[in-house]
Structure 1
Amino acid sequence: MNRLAGVTSPYLLQHADNPVDWWPWTPEAFEEARRRDVPVLLSVGYSACHWCHVMAHESFEDEKTAAYLNEHFVPVKVDREERPDVDAVYMEAVQAATGHGGWPMTVFMTPDAEPFYFGTYFPPEPRHGSPSFPQVLEGVAVAWRDRRDEVGEVAGNIVRELSGRSLAVAGKGVPGEQELAQALLGLTREYDERHGGFGGAPKFPPSMTVEFLLRHHARTGAEGALQMAADTCEAMARGGIYDQLGGGFARYSVDREWVVPHFEKMLYDNALLCRVYAHLWRATGSDLARRVALETADFMVRELRTAEGGFASALDADSDDGTGRHVEGAFYVWTPARLREVLGDDDAAYAAHHYGVTEEGTFEEGASVLRLPQDAGVADAERLGRIRERLLAARAERARPGRDDKVVAAWNGLAVAALAETGAYFDRPDLVERATEAADLLVRLHLDEAGRLARTSKDGRRGANAGVLEDYGDVAEGFLALAAVTGEGVWLDFAGFLLDHVLDRFTGEGGQLYDTAHDAEALIRRPQDPTDNATPSGWTAAAGALLSYAAQTGSEPHRTAAERALGVVQALGPRAPRFVGWGLAVAEAVLDGPREVAVAGPRGEDATRALHRAALLGTAPGAVVAVGEPDGEEFPLLRDRPLVDGRPAAYVCRHFTCDAPTTDPDRLAELLSR
């Protein structure tokens, strides 16, 4: 066992018995490199990364390669999901040097953590013009020994270039009507009218962009925005990227038609998409959206919930195919013959027709990924439902993909928001309870007495790495959603604690935000990225939570911070709307108010519950909701909000102007839909 044996990261633990003498990212690793006068090899990946596993098997498990690596380098292994700051800094260098990036990420650096040579996956022998990993190791070792001055010059130049980069925040304020219209036009140009989604292959689920489209439609009535959102969601839900048997979404589609996914399932994708489909149902009443939201919520609870009440990070793409081979997609794909084994001839033919299973297959070796090109009729739906149950039971007998059990604060915050809202919309109190349990875990284990977040935990053990901006923004978002659904003001208080840290420790000049706190470990560059990736950027996640908290409490500092942060969205939104989708969604909320809804009434009364439900189902962008006793103390919005004629009442305000209170849920729904 090497030095990874005692860590909490499942990804690092996968390498704990490698012959490579791995170190975790610690000062001691760089001190060792300095003492031995050798370079550091930094290898960055994550548990569900297919090519990370391939390189590990080919190179890091090879005794000869490991012996050379141990002799000439100090090897450092990093889980990008535990240390997104380290990943971001060196990925920026990799992309600047090579024009592309990805995982596994391979970086050679000096003992001062200055990078000088980069790559991603290296094969065990030369392939397609790429050198082998042993060749790379030998070349770097020779350069370090014989051309040290040259190596030092390259490293110094790279660090100076990275350090000299500044984020150009050209916007001077919150995006207005013109910028949002330009963003919508840009999305329309990139929209795939035939297959839904944006751009070509590989095609990723555009969760944050769809949220912007739904909010833009709600505020402006733009039917084109709603159509793009609805058609994209339907295409994904009917495609292979969606698990037609067990619910939940794979990471992305390798083709533009959503047929063949990359089979890993990530918590963050499913949390974001669960919320997207719930919001689509709220806007349209779509039965498909309702089904997918609930199935995705149930998938998260069934497959990703941990014993401590949090949610695990991911399920691997690969699993044993029954012959001893570890194969991508083996758990999920079907052939006509396999269908016949489980269902018999008649039902197998029926299932193959409805799920798109063919003799030729849509994946590898004649296998097909299940899709649902069209809904079945009423009678057929019952038959298909029975078939689905039988196939799901049979699939459960297969070897399951591995699970990355670490609990990431940010992604659990996204799950809390999704489960709380989905549970409230569809009268599923069990989902709200699961959201509350996850939030309790974040408070109990991830949050210290000073209100600082730990990035991860595993098996009830708090991780050593500090939370980054996305953790504070997404967990605050989850707490605010939970407060609105449950009427428990303590979640508003916890969100406030986190957002105070955003103001105090993550905010720089001009309102720009940094991914790490000012007192975090110093890297060669302080990471800062306002653009969405697989999740909302920490920058825009924090902006959204700051705005909602300000609407709930009337706090001007939080409102001002949110608006200043949106300057970057004003600059980037018209030019690159797909990469600031959540920032555009937050901007929609600013332009709409956001509206503040206070439901005053005894918590147990049916009339209060009816008003509360109408408030939660309102489509006004970013509307905040407080519910509780008249003149209650838990929510500032409830102060001076009495009953009306002795009946529970709802108060709707925005821009310092309030509508007349109403006791009618239908009237409240009207107020929140125009």
Structure 2
Amino acid sequence: MNRLAGVTSPYLLQHADNPVDWWPWSPEAFEEARRRDVPVLLSVGYSSCHWCHVMAHESFEDEDTAAYLNEHFVSVKVDREERPDVDAVYMEAVQAATGQGGWPMTVFLTADAEPFYFGTYFPPESRHGMPSFRQVLEGVTGAWTGRRDEVGEVAGRIVRDLSERSLAHGSDGPPGEAEPAQALLGLTREYDEKRGGFGGAPKFPPSMALEFLLRHHARTGAEGALQMAADTCEAMARGGIYDQLGGGFARYSVDREWVVPHFEKMLYDNALLCRVYAHLWRSTGSELARRVALETADFMVRELRTPEGGFASALDADSEDADGRHVEGAYYVWTPAQLREVLGEDDAAFAAEYFGVTGEGTFEEGSSVLQLPGEHDDPRAAGVRERLLAARGARPRPGRDDKVVAAWNGLAIAALAETGAYFDRPDLVERATEAADLLVRVHMGPVARLVRTSKDGRAGEHAGVLEDYGDVAEGFLALAAVTGEGAWLEFAGFLLDIVLQHFTGEGGQLYDTADDAEQLIRRPQDPTDSATPAGWTAAAGALLSYAAHTGSEPHRAGAEGALGVVKALGPRAPRFIGWGLAVAEALLDGPREVAVAGPVGGELHRTALLGRAPGAVVAAGEAGGAEFPLLADRPMTDGAPTAYVCRHFVCDAPTTDPQALADALGAG
């Protein structure tokens, strides 16, 4: 066993018995490199990364390669999900130097952590113009021993280039009406009208852009926005990217048609998409959207929930097939013969047509990914699906990354709380509450500073980053709205005070790491979405909601200052700042403040939660109760539950009529 044996990261633990003498990211690793006068090999990946596993098997498990590494390098292994700050800083350097990035990320550093050579996956033998990993190692060793001045010059120039990069954060104020309208035009130009989604292959679920489109339609009535969102959601739900048997979404589609997924399933994708489909149902009443939201919520609870009540990070893409080979997609794909084995001739023929299973196959070796190419409400399908799911359950299961990531659990809390409230599923609200309890109990210290991860109920060592604070606060605020428990509003306030104190810079810009966090070669800040909302705009959204609940001017000002980046980037890159655009919709709508003096879970409360006004905050409970500031001086009318709808704390006439409340929280 090497130095990774005692860590909490499942990804690092996968490498604990490698012959490579791995170090975790630590000052001691760089001191060792300085003492031995050797470079550092930084290898960054994550547990469900297919090519990370491939490179590990080909190179890091190879005795000769490991011996060379151990003699000439100090090797440092980083889980990008545990240390997104380290990943972000060096990925920026890789992309700047090579024009592309990905994982595994392979970077060579000096003992001062300055990068001088970059790459991603390297094969064990040279192929397709790519050098072998051993050739790369020998080349770096030769440069280090024979051309050290050149190495130092390259490293110094890279660090200077990174430190001199400036971010145009749009300090001339938050976005107005023009920016979302321009963003909508930009999305329309990039929209794939035949297949849904945006751009070409590989095609990722555009979760944050979909949320913007739904909010923009709710505020302005723009039918084109709703149509793009609805058609994209239907295309994904019918495609192979969605698990037609067990629910839940794979990470992305390798093709434009959503047919063949990259089979790993991430908590964050499913949390975000569960919420999108629930919001689509709220806007349209779509039965497909309702089914997918509930199936995705049930998938998260069934497959990702940990014994401590949190949610695990991911399921692997790979598992063992019938021949014992560890291959991608083995758990999910079917051949006609496998259908016949489970279902018999007649039902297998029905299933093949219903799910698009062909003799040629849509995946590898004649197998097919299940889709819904035709009608999807055939009553015969339920029994067939149930039998196939049971048979699939007997297959070797993909591995699970049991690490609990604070930010992604915040996203899951928001999705499960809202889905449970919309569809009368109190069990989902309970699961959301248990996950929130875990975050408070394990991830938050006595002064409400978050740690990024935990495993088996034990907190990790690494500080939370901005997305953790923003997404957890978002989850707590959603839970407060659904449960009527004001403690969740207070916890969100604790976290957002830390954002204002330790993550906020000049002109409203935000940083991904706190001002008292470990200092890297550059303090990372990225306002653009990746597979999850940017920490920058996630924090802005939570700050805005908290200000609407409490009337706090510092929180409102923090949100408006941060949203300057949406004014700058929204019209130019709408696909990559979708969450920021969604928050801007809430800002332009107020957001509306809804106080329901009456029973939690009652008709008025549920009506308020189902309101489509972008970013509306909801407080429900006893009139004049201390749980929420919005309930102060808001009495019931003649003893009947009463709702108050306000903007900037200026209120419409109170109402006891659910339909009148629904009208007040609809479009326009």
TM-score by length of 2: 0.99
Choose the corresponding residue for 1:647, options 632, 637, 640.
640
Partner amino acid, structure 1, of 2:643: A
Instruction: Give the match for residue 520 of structure 1.
Output: 517
Choose the corresponding residue for 1:438, options 428, 435, 438.
435
Instruction: Give the match for residue 415 of structure 1.
Output: 412
Equivalents in 1 of 2:183, 2:498: separation in Å?
A: 31
Partner amino acid, structure 2, of 1:464: E
Instruction: Give the match for residue 447 of structure 1.
Output: 444
CA contact (8 A) 1:171 1:569 kept: no
Equivalents in 2 of 1:5, 1:612: separation in Å?
A: 50
Instruction: Give the match for residue 614 of structure 2.
Output: 621
Partner amino acid, structure 1, of 2:514: A
- 1:322 to partner: Cα distance: 2.1
- 1:656 to partner: Cα distance: 3.8
SS of aligned partner of 1:161 = helix
1:502 lines up with 2:495 in the alignment: no
SS of aligned partner of 2:602 = helix
Instruction: Give the match for residue 458 of structure 2.
Output: 461
Equivalents in 2 of 1:168, 1:602: separation in Å?
A: 47
CA contact (8 A) 1:174 1:567 kept: yes
- 1:666 to partner: Cα distance: 0.8
List structure 1 segments (4+ residues) > 6 angstroms apart after TM superposition. Answer: none
- 1:374 to partner: Cα distance: 2.7
- 1:382 to partner: Cα distance: 2.4
SS of aligned partner of 1:41 = strand
- 1:171 to partner: Cα distance: 4.9
Q: Percent identity?
A: 84
Equivalents in 2 of 1:288, 1:231: separation in Å?
A: 11
Partner amino acid, structure 2, of 1:432: V
Instruction: Give the match for residue 255 of structure 1.
Output: 255
Partner amino acid, structure 2, of 1:595: R
- 1:312 to partner: Cα distance: 0.1
CA contact (8 A) 2:171 2:508 kept: no
Deviations, residues 92-111 of structure 1 (Å, cap 9, x unaligned): 00000000000000000000
1:483 lines up with 2:480 in the alignment: yes
Deviations, residues 464-502 of structure 1 (Å, cap 9, x unaligned): 000000000000000000000000000000000000000
Task: After TM superposition, list the pairs within 5 Å mapping 1:200-239 onto structure 2.
Answer: 200-239=200-239
- 1:354 to partner: Cα distance: 0.5
CA contact (8 A) 2:171 2:507 kept: no
- 1:602 to partner: Cα distance: 4.2
Partner amino acid, structure 2, of 1:508: G
1:554 lines up with 2:551 in the alignment: yes
Equivalents in 1 of 2:598, 2:610: separation in Å?
A: 18
Task: After TM superposition, list the pairs within 5 Å mapping 1:317-396 onto structure 2.
Answer: 317-377=317-377, 381-396=378-393
Equivalents in 2 of 1:294, 1:565: separation in Å?
A: 33
Equivalents in 2 of 1:497, 1:373: separation in Å?
A: 48
Deviations, residues 511-549 of structure 1 (Å, cap 9, x unaligned): 100000000000000000000000000000000000000
Equivalents in 1 of 2:233, 2:548: separation in Å?
A: 30
Partner amino acid, structure 1, of 2:537: T
SS of aligned partner of 2:277 = helix
Task: After TM superposition, list the pairs within 5 Å mapping 1:100-119 onto structure 2.
Answer: 100-119=100-119
Equivalents in 2 of 1:656, 1:439: separation in Å?
A: 29
Instruction: Give the match for residue 280 of structure 1.
Output: 280
- 1:175 to partner: Cα distance: 1.2
Task: After TM superposition, list the pairs within 5 Å mapping 1:67-146 onto structure 2.
Answer: 67-146=67-146
Equivalents in 2 of 1:37, 1:329: separation in Å?
A: 44
Partner amino acid, structure 2, of 1:494: F
Instruction: Give the match for residue 195 of structure 1.
Output: 195
Equivalents in 2 of 1:42, 1:435: separation in Å?
A: 36
- 1:376 to partner: Cα distance: 4.0
1:609 lines up with 2:602 in the alignment: yes
Equivalents in 1 of 2:608, 2:83: separation in Å?
A: 39
Equivalents in 2 of 1:512, 1:598: separation in Å?
A: 32
Instruction: Give the match for residue 29 of structure 1.
Output: 29
- 1:601 to partner: Cα distance: 1.7
Partner amino acid, structure 2, of 1:647: A
Task: After TM superposition, list the pairs within 5 Å mapping 1:544-623 onto structure 2.
Answer: 544-603=541-600, 609-623=602-616
Equivalents in 1 of 2:562, 2:506: separation in Å?
A: 11
CA RMSD of aligned residues (A): 0.7
Note the residue ranges of structure 2 that are not aligned, 5 or more in a row: none
Partner amino acid, structure 1, of 2:445: D
Note the residue ranges of structure 1 that are not aligned, 5 or more in a row: none
- 1:383 to partner: Cα distance: 1.2
SS of aligned partner of 2:174 = coil
TM-score by length of 1: 0.98
Equivalents in 2 of 1:615, 1:19: separation in Å?
A: 58
Instruction: Give the match for residue 20 of structure 1.
Output: 20
CA contact (8 A) 1:484 1:624 kept: yes
SS of aligned partner of 1:127 = coil
Equivalents in 2 of 1:521, 1:396: separation in Å?
A: 44
SS of aligned partner of 1:368 = coil
- 1:597 to partner: Cα distance: 0.2
